[in-house]
Amino acid sequence: MRLAGGVAHDFNNILMAIIGNAELALSRMEPASPLRHFIDEIEAAASRAAVLSRQMLTYSGHAALKVEPVDLSLTVQRMSHVLRSSVSSRAALHYELGGSPSAVLGDSSQLEQVLVSLAVNASDALGDTPGIITIRTGTVEADERELARAHAMDRDLRPGTYAFLEVKDSGC
């Protein structure tokens, strides 16, 4: 566990150098440069790897979870470029983001990883056929009957307003 944490820490430092240099290159590059797309892809891939590295650090006990209010809609908006590069080119991403804040308490990097994982799973479900991946966020009023119908694992949940994130695909 100690070795894994040390490797993850060193790996994270390397990724920060990659991200920093990509950002510098982008800031000095003409907006119409044909190379801009490649630098964007490098930055997005390094950012995804940094999220994984932070998760390894958290798992190994070298970093603590940072639990704070996270707005699901803003997270999806911020991650749209990463999501586009994570799914098949045959997948059309469709967003239905709630207008009111849909905040949950959580670690933003872990929520981002969950979002990417769900999108990749949805993309895999499409297979080789074109399809649509719909990502929805919002809030919902849930009464006792709705909570029971949803088979809520936490039996202490009370009726009230809940935030949701839904990833749906048109695949099998």
Q: What per-residue confidence (pLDDT) applies to 61?
A: 67
Q: What is the mean pLDDT of each run of 10 residues along the chain (172 residues)?
A: 68 85 89 90 85 73 76 92 88 91 84 89 93 94 81 74 93 85
pLDDT at 143: 87
Report the 10 Å Cβ neighbour count for 63.
Answer: 19
Model pLDDT, residue 108:
85
Query: Tokens standing for 57?
Result: 């650090």
Give the model's pLDDT for residue 59.
Answer: 67
* First-last CA distance in the chain: 39
Provide the pLDDT for residue 99: 78
What pLDDT, on a 0 to 100 scale, did the predictor assign at position 109?
80
Whether residue 62 contacts residue 9, with contact meaning beta carbons closer than 8 Å, is answered with: yes
Q: What pTM was estimated for this model as a whole?
A: 0.65
d(CA 154, CA 114): 20
